[in-house]
Structure 1
Amino acid sequence: MAALAGFIALLTRINDAVFWVGRQLSWMAIGVMVLIILAQVFARYILNDALPWSEELARVLMLWLTGLMAPSAYRWGSFVAIDMFRDLLPRWPRAILTLCLFGISLIVLIVMTYYGWKHINSGWLFGSATLKIKLAWVYMALPVGFLMMISACVELIAKELHEALDPSVNYKSGDNAPEFIAE
């Protein structure tokens, strides 16, 4: 039990730090996107001369902010879920169901990471139309986000397992989700 608790503590600290950086970069990307879109509106409707690169850069930023923010949302349980049935179950069946669902999620995330890396390989062959960067840099948001989500999923599996094996442990009370998401 001590080894599991130590693993969870280490993984939680790593995820806290990495996901914090991802969230900060996401907020900056949103700010830059807003400025780019405002510049495009100004250029198109006031100057009557559209910026050729603005839409493409906004899309790149949107992909990256999603890849960097989704792991935190997954970790906080902020994705859409129907958990009414699960909450009605006794402790052990609930833990088994939750572990099975996390296991399925982990498999899907691993498969998606694999295909994300394959997609990057094709991206080295092509450049973006207006930004003149290799598309692999854009596509990299997929496996980076999926790898971070794998780390979150492993943390959630370990915490659920620890809670199932030791009823005195409650990780949900120490959840570090923002207040507007907390239950």
Structure 2
Amino acid sequence: MLDRFERGLVAANRWLLILLLLAMAVIIFTNVVLRYTTGDSIIWAEEVARHMMIWVAFLGAGLALRFGGHVAIDNLHRAVSTRAARAMRSVVVLGLSAFFIFMTYASSDYVWRTRFQSTAATDIPISFIYAAMPVGFLLMLVHLLLIARSYILEGEFERSEEIDGEAAGSL
């Protein structure tokens, strides 16, 4: 059951990112073509693309965490005994979990405080754009909890044919 949930979550997360990136690319491409062919541009294109980029960053952070794509210094836990390494990785997981929980709460409060503001060009509520923060931090927490056991015991992240976490982290 948990394995099915995990596969579904990862697939939904990936497809949402793909669709957002595709829509963003189409909007920007269309805007550039219109600007150079007609001299006019889409008024809302830059604003919507920026907001989509915010959502992509926060939704993609959980997948990057899951596959080891975030910057990390792992020399120390590789240099000590297995028991000490597991203890260090446990502290890392607990620290990250506490940070993600705090940031989910703090960013939810921020979303609540901006609920009456709206964007200039599209009149979209600012809270909708800022909602990417609590959603992203909650997703990072879920992804972390799903890989925590293998990370703590073996120091390994999830493996994927499509995503190379080490290559992504070294960019």
In 2, Cα distance between the equivalents of 1:179 and 1:31? Answer: 18
Q: Which of the numbers 96, 104, 111 marks the counterpart of 2:95?
A: 104
In 2, Cα distance between the equivalents of 1:143 and 1:136? Answer: 11
Shift of 1:78: 1.2
Which AA in structure 2 matches 1:20? A
Is contact 2:111-2:131 (8 Å) kept? yes
Shift of 1:157: 2.8
Sequence identity (%)? 26
1:4-53 CA-to-partner distances (Å, cap 9, x unmatched) read: xxxxx72x442331122011110111111111111111222221112210
Is contact 2:150-2:156 (8 Å) kept? no
Structure 2: stretches of 5+ with no match in the other structure: 167-171
TM-score (norm 2): 0.86
Shift of 1:128: 1.2
Number of the residue aligned with 2:135: 144
Is contact 2:68-2:165 (8 Å) kept? no
* Change over 3 Å in CA distance of 1:150–1:84 after alignment to 2: same
Q: Which of the numbers 164, 167, 171 marks the counterpart of 1:181?
A: 164
Shift of 1:176: 3.8
Q: Which of the numbers 14, 18, 26 marks the counterpart of 1:23?
A: 14
* Change over 3 Å in CA distance of 1:32–1:160 after alignment to 2: closer
Shift of 1:54: 0.4
Structure 1: stretches of 5+ with no match in the other structure: 1-8, 164-169
| Residues 93-102 or 115-124, more deviating | 115-124
* Change over 3 Å in CA distance of 1:139–1:182 after alignment to 2: closer
TM-score (norm 1): 0.81
1:114-139 CA-to-partner distances (Å, cap 9, x unmatched) read: 11101111231111111222111111
In 2, Cα distance between the equivalents of 1:129 and 1:75? Answer: 36
Shift of 1:105: 0.9
Which AA in structure 2 matches 1:83? D
Is contact 1:19-1:71 (8 Å) kept? no
Task: Give the alignment's Cα RMSD to 1 decimal.
Answer: 2.2
In 2, Cα distance between the equivalents of 1:73 and 1:141? Answer: 16
The number of residues matched between the two structures is 166
In 1, Cα distance between the equivalents of 2:63 and 2:133? Answer: 15
In 2, Cα distance between the equivalents of 1:116 and 1:15? Answer: 25
